[in-house]
A and B are shown apart, each in its own frame.
Chain A
Amino acid sequence: MTFVKSFVKSSIKSDILQNKEGADIDGTMTAHFDRTQLSNTDVTSSNDYQFVLPASSGSSYILEGGLIISASSTSTITFQWYDETNSKFIGYKGFLASQTDPNQVDPWYNTLASCVVLSSDFSGSDITLSLRAVSETGSATYPATLTFSGIRNTKAILRILQT
């Protein structure tokens, strides 16, 4: 029996999406990302805030996403990936604080919320994820983009890795 080396390509794929403007969803601050930048992975979105991981891909996924907030007084936000299909928060939380200057972003700890969805987590159905606020203090709003004196253009990003 002869084996021929297989030089098939790695199935690892990566997308990076930029944060964009978006309203609260059902009263919850929810991150929006530009779905038109989905080009490599099998993840889809029809509304910029719900990201559908297809069960048919047979893949595992890592999602890392951030938020940007603005406030007129010191405010904080903790955010986490929410599995809408199974109605539960998953992965590690991200945290951000805004100082009194609304143009200032002041993260103290993790600025990204991350989660891992394994291929074994799918039970025949697609899994839909969104990045939501878990808790907030102060009066933070969700500006998505901060600009300051023309040269600073701060946006959060979503990175997706697919096996």
Chain B
Amino acid sequence: MSYKNFETSSPLVACYNSTSQSTTGVFDKIMSIDSSLFSGEISGGDTITLDYKAALMGDIYGQTNNSLGFWSSFHLNGTRQYQGLDVCSGISTASFKAPEQFFTNSDVNDQIESEWRVHPLAGSGTSIYITAGYPRLTGILLK
């Protein structure tokens, strides 16, 4: 005897952006998402909705031309969630030394977005380059 808990969907979430993305200047940015390997409906190029609760992790990797504060968070229905560990602080002209990781638990049909933030003191000439394939938003559906 066997049964499946998820009859019509994979219990995995794996969404990402297939191309690189970049900005110049200091501002908060909702990150683009355009691809999903498993569960997840993407709308507007940046918003994911899931039919179930989920335990989610995001990570982001790239480069900057400046020493700055740079960190990421999930947004659920427009509300910022736990901040990541700010991987890029103090790094000048270098790749991030490790992917920035951030987490949340989402509810049914939450509007899920991911955001990066740059510290205002980084300066207007600050450029951010996010490697193709990032951010990656992965997780497990909870039923």
Which A residues contact B (CB, under 8 angstroms)? Answer: 3, 5-10, 12-16, 18, 40, 66, 68, 96, 99, 101, 103-112, 146, 148-149, 151-157, 159, 161
Contacts and interface: CB of A to CB of B under 8 A. Distances in A.
Contacts of A10: 5-6, 11, 141-143
B98 interface: yes
27 contacts: A5-B3, A8-B5, A10-B143, A14-B142, A16-B104, A68-B85, A105-B85, A106-B87, A106-B89, A106-B90, A106-B91, A106-B97, A107-B98, A111-B87, A111-B101, A148-B119, A149-B119, A149-B120, A151-B117, A151-B119, A152-B69, A152-B71, A152-B83, A152-B86, A153-B83, A154-B71, A161-B55
A67 B143 CA distance: 30
A68 B87 CA distance: 11
Which residue of B7, B141, B143 has the most chain A CB atoms within 10 A of its CB atom?
B143
A66 B98 CA distance: 14
Interface in B55-106: 55, 57, 69, 71, 82-83, 85-87, 89-91, 97-98, 101, 103-105
Category for how many chain B residues contact A? 20 to 34
B103 A111 contact: no
Contact of B101 (A7, A101, A112): A112
A16 B82 contact: yes
Nearest to B81: A16
B132 interface: no
Given A6-B3, A154-B86, A12 B140 contact: yes
Contacts of A8: 3, 5
Contacts of B98: 107-111
B105 A14 contact: yes
Given A40-B105, A68-B85, A151-B120, 18 more contacts: A7-B3, A7-B5, A10-B11, A10-B141, A10-B143, A12-B55, A13-B142, A101-B89, A101-B90, A105-B85, A106-B89, A107-B97, A107-B98, A148-B69, A149-B120, A152-B69, A154-B86, A159-B103
A112 B1 CA distance: 39
B85 A107 contact: yes
B5 A9 contact: yes
B115 to A, nearest CB: 13
Contacts of B5: 7-10
B37 to A, nearest CB: 19
Contacts of A101: 89-90
Given A99-B90, A108-B98, A109-B98, A66 B85 contact: yes
B55 A99 contact: no
A35 B105 CA distance: 16
Contacts of A15: 105
A72 B24 CA distance: 31
A112 to B, nearest CB: 7
